[in-house]
C-alpha cells in the first residue's frame, strides 16, 4: 500500500497570490481611505476613492501576477525544450549528468548510475526536469491561477476598510478604519503563516507592522496636503 503524505508546498502557488493580494487590498485601500480622510475629504470622496482603489488595484494585481508568472512559465518551457534537445543529441552525456547529481546527493557511483538508468528508462524528460532543473508539478508556474487569486483576494481585502468607511463617519473614521484594518492584517498574517507551517505570531506582527507604517505615512501626507490646499 502506497504511503500518502500531505506537503505544504502544494499550496505555494495559490497561497502566495492570495495572501499577497489580500494584504495589498487591505493596506492600499485603508491607506487611501485614511489619506483622503486626513485631507478633510467628505464621506462621498472617501468612498469614491476607496472604490476606485479597489477596482484599479485588483486589475493591477491580476495583470502584474499574470505577466510575472507567465514569464516564469516561459522560462520553464524554454528550459524543458533545451533539455529535450540535449537528451536527443547526447543521451549518454545526459545520463552521466544525472548520475553525477545522484552521487552528489550521497549515492554510491554504482547505485547512482542504476537509479539514473531506471528513471530515464521511463520518462527521460520528467526525470531531468525534476532532478536537474528542479521543476515539479506542485511548483509549476500557473499564470491564470495566480492572476485570478490575486484579483479576487485583493478585492476581498479591500472590502474590509471600505465597509468600515461606509459604516462610520466623522472624526473616528480614521481610527476605526486603521484599527480594523490592522486587526484584519494581523489575522491574515497569522493565518498565512499557520497555513504555510510558520510561526503565526511572527507572521501577524510582520504584516501588521508594515501595514501600520503605510497607513501612518499616508495619513501624514494627506494631512499635509489637505492643510496646504485648504
Q: In which residue are the cell numbers 495572501 written?
A: 19
Number of domains into which the chain is organized? 1
Could you tell me the residue range of the domain that residue 182 belongs to? 10-229
Residue 156 in any domain: the answer is: yes
Cα separation, 5 vs 197, whole angstroms: 15
Residue 5 in any domain: the answer is: no
Residue 87 burial (CB < 10 Å; 0-12/13-18/19+)? middle
C-alpha cell at 116: 539514473
Q: In which residue are the cell numbers 533539455 written?
A: 83
**Four-CA torsion 177, 23, 61, 147, nearest 10 degrees:** -130
Q: What is the pLDDT along the chain (230 residues), one digit of tens a residue?
A: 444 444 444 455 556 667 778 888 999 999 889 888 888 767 888 888 899 999 999 998 889 888 888 887 778 778 777 877 877 777 787 777 778 777 877 778 878 778 777 767 777 667 666 766 666 665 666 788 778 888 899 999 999 999 998 887 667 888 899 999 999 989 888 887 777 677 888 888 888 898 889 888 888 888 787 644 44
Q: Among 106, 89, 87, which Cα is nearest to 97's?
A: 87
Asked whether the beta carbons of 162 and 47 are under 8 A apart, the reply is yes
Residue 3 in any domain: the answer is: no
Half-sphere exposure of 108 (CA within 13 A, CB side): 2
Residue 132 in any domain: the answer is: yes
Residue 18 in any domain: the answer is: yes
Q: Whole-model pTM above 0.75?
A: no
Q: What string of H, E and C letters represents the secondary structure of 77-104?
A: HHHHHHHHHHHHHCHHHHHHHHHHHHHH
Amino acid at each position: 500500500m502506497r504511503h500518502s503524505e500531505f506537503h505544504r508546498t502544494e499550496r505555494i502557488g495559490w497561497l502566495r497570490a492570495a495572501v499577497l493580494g489580500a494584504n495589498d487590498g487591505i493596506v492600499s485601500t485603508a491607506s487611501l481611505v485614511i489619506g483622503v480622510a486626513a485631507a478633510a475629504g467628505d464621506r462621498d470622496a472617501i468612498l469614491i476613492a476607496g472604490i476606485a482603489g479597489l477596482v484599479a488595484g485588483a486589475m493591477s494585481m491580476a495583470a502584474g501576477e499574470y505577466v510575472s508568472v507567465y514569464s516564469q512559465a516561459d522560462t520553464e518551457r524554454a528550459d524543458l525544450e533545451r533539455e529535450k534537445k540535449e537528451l536527443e543529441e547526447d543521451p549518454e552525456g545526459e545520463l552521466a549528468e544525472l548520475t553525477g547529481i545522484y552521487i552528489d546527493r550521497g549515492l554510491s557511483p554504482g547505485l547512482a548510475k542504476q537509479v539514473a538508468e531506471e528513471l530515464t528508462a521511463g520518462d527521460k524528460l520528467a526525470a531531468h526536469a525534476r532532478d536537474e532543473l528542479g521543476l515539479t508539478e506542485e511548483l509549476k508556474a500557473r499564470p491564470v491561477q495566480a492572476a485570478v487569486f490575486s484579483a479576487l483576494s485583493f478585492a476581498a481585502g479591500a472590502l474590509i476598510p471600505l465597509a468600515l468607511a461606509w459604516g462610520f463617519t466623522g472624526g473616528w473614521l480614521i481610527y476605526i478604519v486603521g484599527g480594523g484594518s490592522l486587526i484584519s492584517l494581523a489575522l491574515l498574517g497569522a493565518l498565512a503563516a499557520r497555513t504555510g507551517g510558520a510561526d503565526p505570531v511572527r507572521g501577524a506582527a510582520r504584516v501588521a507592522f508594515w501595514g501600520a507604517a503605510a497607513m501612518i505615512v499616508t495619513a501624514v501626507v494627506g494631512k499635509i496636503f489637505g492643510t496646504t490646499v485648504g
